[in-house]
Amino acid sequence: MSVERHIAGMLRQIARQQDLVEIAPQGSTLKAAALAHVAEQYGYTYGTAYRTGFKNSLVQVRMYRDPRPDARVREAATITTHPQAGNGGPVPGLEQGSLKPLPEAVGDVAVLKDLVTFDVMAQYVADRTQKVLGYLACAVLTVLLLIDRSPVEAVASGGAVALLITVAFKVGAIRRGKIAQRRRTPGSSRCATNRAPSGSCARGSSCPATPTPSPPEAPGLRRSQA
């Protein structure tokens, strides 16, 4: 699916003023973060990200409608300045026809990429089932090697594989910890709300609380009836 179709599909959800917008699955965390940045310009805030698709090769992001007044102001301004977004025209924060962020949006996209990566890695770091299956595979390998090899070779081979699995999980935990440390800065605070239980607040502000009236529609982003 082309970039334009991904953007158009997301903007159709936004035009319906949905509380939840699901961004089309992307092949990388950077692409998913770029689309999440676009959704932010229309008054949405990051919710969560997870792996999906064949062999969990794709990344899907969920965005939640931010009810704060400044989000509605940001949405109205974006609709006014980008009337043809989703129809082949310029998209806020991205180079036209691609998911490459403009220079002024690189920092915001990088923060969102950290959030996406953090959530995606959490699936593996916190999944005890994967750890159990990994070490169980090591045990099975050791038993199979015992059939036609010496006990020393079998144990050594099984132990080497177990060590690699342990290192892989440890590296993942360390990387996730570094991302969490970067996210503790005022530029990317994260909170739990009823609207976005795994989401993030807008940078440097409090969590959304109560809904506010929507801005008037503009020609480029027609709102459909609920």
Q: What is the pLDDT of residues 14-32, one digit of tens each?
A: 999 999 999 999 999 999 9
User: Taking the CB of residue 46, how many other CB atoms lie within 10 A of it?
Assistant: 28
Instruction: Reply yes or no on whether the pLDDT at 61 is more than 60.
Output: yes
164 token code pair: 């690699």
The burial class, CB within 10 Å (0-12 / 13-18 / 19+), for 15 is middle
Q: What is the pLDDT of residues 78-117, one digit of tens each?
A: 999 999 998 889 999 999 889 999 999 999 999 999 899 8
Q: What is the pLDDT of residue 136?
A: 81
Please tell me which residue, 162 or 126, carries the higher pLDDT value: 162
| Residue 32 contacts residue 59 (beta carbons within 8 Å) | yes
| Residue 62 contacts residue 34 (beta carbons within 8 Å) | no
Q: What is the pLDDT of residues 140-191, one digit of tens each?
A: 878 877 787 778 777 888 788 777 777 766 666 666 566 556 555 544 444 4
Q: Give the residue ranges of DSSP H helices in 149-217.
A: 151-183
Phi/psi class of residue 104: alpha, beta or left (left: φ > 0; alpha: ψ in -120 to 50)? alpha
User: Taking the CB of residue 214, how many other CB atoms lie within 10 A of it?
Assistant: 14
- Domains of the chain by residue range: 3-188
Beta-sheet strand order (sheet of 20-26):
20-26, 58-65, 44-52
